[in-house]
């Protein structure tokens, strides 16, 4: 009897409960995008160099250049838009990370292929708070793309809004706004239980 009670207590302590989530309203939704530079041999290790967060209306909440912990060996300027001058007096990573986490915590986070951004920031959140447009099949359908094709932010924005982004290098503010616009195009359906592809619970175990 004692053993059974201990087993029940153990099960209860490890059982996972759905957290109390904030209401999914504009005030609780932000969009995130980051730019990376390369560190280490041949610049193969990605490190955060700029982070931008915008609100539901596209207003800038946070935008800062960030100095990586390790020396930069490749600025990846062609893609990142980052140059040496941008990081000379940039915010140290540890300080920036605290500020970024403060803006993201308890919010629904929109973005495109967010796993890369979260990895760079060293940040994690509940899957149900993530609105990743790179995984949204409805956006692919609207854009006339195959389900198995994972489109870039640039391609989706061009097809759905007729707007060209990332025409030269990337801008994290522009990309964060573009992701938010994509989300808003399908937000009314995102958690519609009649459409499992738009329901965040479906994406908890799926990574396309």
pLDDT over threshold 60, residue 4:
no
Per-residue pLDDT of 121-135, as tens digits, reads 999 999 999 999 999
> Confidence band (pLDDT; 50, 70, 90) for 189?
confident
Q: Is the pLDDT of residue 15 over 60?
A: no
pTM of the model: 0.83
Look at residue 7 and tell me whether its pLDDT is greater than 50: no
Q: Is the pLDDT of residue 178 over 70?
A: yes
Residue 190 has a pLDDT of: 84
Interval 15-21 mean pLDDT: 65
How would DSSP label each residue in the chain? Answer: -HHHHHHHHHHHHH------PPP-SGGGEEEEEEEEEEESGGG-EEEEEEEEEEETTS-EEEEEEEE-SSPEEE--HHHH---HHHHTTPEEHHHHHHHHHHHHTTSEEEESSHHHHHHHHT----GGGEEEGGG-HHHHHHHT--TT----HHHHHHHHH-----SSS--HHHHHHHHHHHHHHHGGGTT-TT-GGG-HHHHTT---
């Amino acid at each position: 009897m004692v053993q059974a009670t201990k087993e029940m207590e153990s099960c209860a302590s490890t059982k996972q409960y759905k957290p109390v989530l904030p209401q999914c309203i504009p005030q609780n939704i932000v969009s995130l995008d980051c730019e990376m530079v390369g560190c280490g041999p041949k610049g193969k290790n990605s490190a955060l160099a700029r982070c931008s967060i915008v609100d539901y209306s596209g207003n800038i909440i946070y935008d800062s250049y960030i100095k990586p912990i390790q020396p930069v060996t490749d600025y990846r300027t062609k893609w990142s838009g980052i140059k040496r001058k941008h990081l000379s007096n940039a915010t140290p990573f540890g300080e920036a990370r605290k500020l970024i986490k403060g803006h993201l915590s308890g919010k629904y986070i929109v973005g495109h292929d967010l796993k890369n951004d979260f990895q760079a920031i060293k940040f994690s959140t509940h899957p149900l708070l993530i609105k990743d447009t790179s995984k949204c099949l409805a956006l692919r359908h609207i854009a006339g793309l195959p389900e198995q094709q994972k489109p870039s932010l640039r391609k989706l924005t061009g097809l759905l809004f007729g707007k060209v982004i990332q025409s030269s290098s990337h801008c994290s503010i522009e990309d964060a706004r573009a992701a938010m616009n994509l989300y808003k195009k399908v937000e009314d359906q995102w958690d519609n239980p009649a459409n499992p592809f738009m329901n965040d619970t479906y994406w908890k175990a799926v990574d396309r």
